[in-house]
Amino acid sequence: MMITVVGTGYVGTTTTVALAMLGHTVCGVDVDPVKVRALQSGSLPIFEEGLEDALRRETAAGRLRFTCDLGQALPGCDVIMLAVGTPPDEDGSANLRALEEVSRQLGRLLQPKAHGRPPVIAIKSTVPVGTGERVRGWLLQEMILRGLHIPFEMASNPEFLREGRALHDAMHPDRVVVGADTPGAANVMKQMYLPLQAPLLLTSIRDAEMIKYASNAFLATKISFMNELARLCERVGANIQQVAQGMGFDARINPHFLQAGIGYGGSCFPKDVQALQALAAQSGLTLQILQAVEAVNASQPGWFLQKVKHVLGSLNGQHITVLGLTFKPGTDDIRESPAIPILKHLEEQGAQITAFDPQGMAAMKQRFPNVTYASTLQESLRDADAVLLLTEWKEVVEHDWGASWSELRQPIVFDGRNVLDSAQMRAWGYQYYGVARPS
Ligand SMILES: NC(=O)C1=CN([C@@H]2O[C@H](COP(=O)(O)OP(=O)(O)OC[C@H]3O[C@@H](n4cnc5c(N)ncnc54)[C@H](O)[C@@H]3O)[C@@H](O)[C@H]2O)C=CC1
Ligand SMILES: O=C(O)[C@H]1O[C@H](OP(=O)(O)OP(=O)(O)OC[C@H]2O[C@@H](n3ccc(=O)[nH]c3=O)[C@H](O)[C@@H]2O)[C@H](O)[C@@H](O)[C@@H]1O
């Protein structure tokens, strides 16, 4: 099949590569010429394990190309995937400006196909229920201005990949969701994903749009539930990890997304939890559970910091080492990272901060220029009064903590992700504090 993907950010780039790996001929289109030039020359503007190699392989095999020129990417296309950003507006609702711009452009640029089925326009971006119809409307308005009606069909095809595992998730999805209002569009999308051999759910466009928000909101709910429970566990002397393990054996609960910590971050959970609430508000509803999910998440970094202050007293002048800046390991993305409010608070309290992160330091330096960024983890530990572990990078978890003890001025570690071996850390002489992990 011939496929065009509009928007080559995190999702768009992964989608182009994955579809090329399935044997399709794919063109990625973006308005950002710097991004497009990088992709054309085989380099990724983001850090994502394995994706760059696959990008080069598929480009060399002739299945993948990139352009800024949407008009040039359209002739003969079977599917046009829209993967532009849908960032939050001030009221939390999804901002659809980029999607509207692309839709109107398509309305101006689409040409009748010489043969074969009309193209399917599939929305991959995360969008509120009803957006499929709005996209169709924008396209039709532009066509009417041209005095033409060029046939096309609409579909919704939300994406469920995780950053840090993007290509793996795109190639091995738990499920593919396709919302389509015509059997023809459903069939084209089904054929496109056939080589994946993944479970496929066919729904209406509205259902598919809701499934995406519902999934992210539910995962965020699991995390906030565990974070709130961790606060209680800490008060009553229970271990949240044991509790999570005991809960997770129940197949109805499952063991995933039960890790308490410093709160969820990233470009999606915070924005999607807000966008679903904004959608509800437009329908006159309040989603009380999601309000609580958001509130717990917003206060989790502060709850963690209270523990730090309880042990260290005033932070003024204390040398604090922060390990991990990205919102999760395996990415260079710091969007909505819980490290941001934590660094902000430490700075406000007058702490001297040294940070280390394998991928996130360049981006964080833009926001926190007064933090010292160490070139190695070992260097970051030197003379620290305390260490705050904020992202569970492999480098941090597997660090030789036994040998580093003497580097620190005070061997105090606050493990915001519960990833270090608490008994071993204590045996090595550390004062170790996890999240609801009593000794
Ligand atoms: N980042 C993630 O892990 C996931 C994101 N999503 C959703 O996918 C969508 C895209 O997310 P990301 O890839 O993270 O966004 P992003 O911000 O990384 O990329 C969006 C891209 O669209 C391009 N763009 C904007 N206007 C354009 C136009 N008129 N024509 C062509 N290109 C244009 C931008 O230049 C940018 O490269 C969002 O709705 C997001 O919620 C869904 C699943 C996972
Ligand atoms: O719509 C999206 O963009 C994506 O959002 C999330 O993916 P992502 O944000 O990349 O990363 P996750 O692995 O879900 O982690 C999100 C945040 O939750 C935190 N988390 C995760 C799991 C957990 O048990 N505890 C916890 O605090 C992570 O540290 C991280 O800050 C979803 O997992 C994807 O399915 C979805 O496609």
- Over the stretch 196-245, which tens digit does the pLDDT of each residue have? 999 999 999 999 999 999 999 999 999 999 999 999 999 999 999 999 99
Atom 42 of ligand 1: nearest residue by CA position: 159
Nearest CA to 19 out of 104, 100, 80 is that of 80
Residue tagged 């002489």 (tokens): 429
Per residue in 58-68, pLDDT tens?
999 999 999 99
Q: Are residues 357 and 439 in the same domain?
A: yes
- Specify the amino acid at residue 87: P
Active site residues: 268
Q: What is the distance between the alpha carbons of residues 90 and 134, in angstroms, rounded to a whole number?
A: 21
**Residue 181 sits in the same domain as residue 213:** no
Q: Is any atom of ligand 1 closer than 6 Å to the C-beta of 38?
A: no
Instruction: Indicate the SS3 state at residue 342.
Output: helix
| Cα–Cα distances in angstroms (integers) from residue 357 to residues 11, 267, 372, 395, in the given order | 23, 18, 12, 9
Q: Which amino acid is at 79?
A: V
In this prediction the ipTM stands at 0.98
- The verdict on 303 and 249 lying in the same domain is yes
Residue 277 backbone phi and psi in degrees, to 5: -65, -40
- Please give the distance, rounded to the nearest whole angstrom, from the Cα atom of residue 266 to the centre of ligand 2: 7
* Alpha-carbon gap, residue 159 to 175, rounded angstroms: 10
pLDDT in tens, 6-48: 999 999 999 999 999 999 999 999 999 999 999 999 999 889 9
| Dist. CA 16–CA 10, nearest whole Å | 10
| Partner residues linked to 432 by β-bridges | 413
Overall residue count recorded for the chain in this entry: 439
What band does 301 get if pLDDT is binned at 50, 70 and 90? very high
Is the separation of the CB atoms in 107 and 143 below 8 Å? yes
List the domain range (segments joined by +) for residue 73.
2-202
29, 60: one domain: yes
Distance, in Å, from the CA atom of 96 to the CA atom of 90, rounded to the nearest integer, reads 13
pLDDT per residue over 151-209, tens digit each?
Answer: 999 999 999 999 999 999 999 999 999 999 899 999 999 999 999 999 999 999 999 99
Pick the closest to residue 354 from 326, 406, 396, 318 (CA basis): 318
Residues 111/75, Cβ–Cβ less than 8 Å: yes
Element of type H or E holding 27: strand 25-29
Q: Is the pLDDT reported for residue 439 higher than 80?
A: no
Give backbone dihedrals phi and psi of 388, rounded to 5 degrees, phi first: -110, 115
CA distance 208 to 214: 10
Same domain, 190 and 225: no
Say yes or no: 304 and 169 in one domain.
no
Nearest CA-CA partner of 68 in 31, 97, 38, 93: 31
Per the annotation, where are the binding residues for NAD(+)? 30, 35, 86, 126, 163, 271, 335
Between the CA of residue 134 and those of 128, 168, 209, 273, 281, what are the distances in Å?
10, 32, 13, 22, 19
Domain-ending residue, one of 151, 177, 202: 202
**65 alpha carbon to ligand 2 midpoint, in Å?**
30
Q: Is residue 112 exposed (0-12), middle (13-18) or buried (19+ Cβ within 10 Å)? A: exposed
Last residue in a domain, options 170, 202, 234: 202
Q: What is the CATH number of the domain that holds 144?
A: 3.40.50.720
Q: How confident is the model at residue 248 (pLDDT cuts 50, 70, 90)?
A: very high
Asked if 76 and 185 sit in the same domain, the reply is: yes
Check: CB of residue 417 under 8 Å from CB of residue 394.
no
Do 57 and 151 fall into the same domain?
yes
Task: Clarify whether residues 197 and 227 are in a common domain.
Answer: no
Among candidates 211, 227, 360, 328, which has minimal Cα distance to 272? 211
pLDDT of 181 reads 86
Q: Could you tell me the distance, in angstroms and rounded to a whole number, from the CA of residue 279 to the centre of ligand 1?
A: 20
Q: How far apart are the first and last CA of the chain?
A: 58
Check: CB of residue 58 under 8 Å from CB of residue 20.
Answer: yes
- pLDDT at residue number 113: 83
Judge if 86 and 180 occupy the same domain.
Answer: yes
pLDDT 10s digits, 345-373: 999 999 999 999 999 999 999 999 999 99
Domain boundary among 202, 233, 268: 202
Residues of the binding site for substrate? 160-163, 212, 257-261, 265, 328
Q: Which residues does a 6 A CB cutoff place in the pocket of ligand 2?
A: 126, 159-163, 216, 219, 223, 257-259, 261, 264-266, 268-269, 327-328
Query: Structural domain tally of the chain?
Result: 2
Do residues 141 and 70 both lie within one domain?
Answer: yes
Q: Quick check: 322 pLDDT over 80?
A: yes
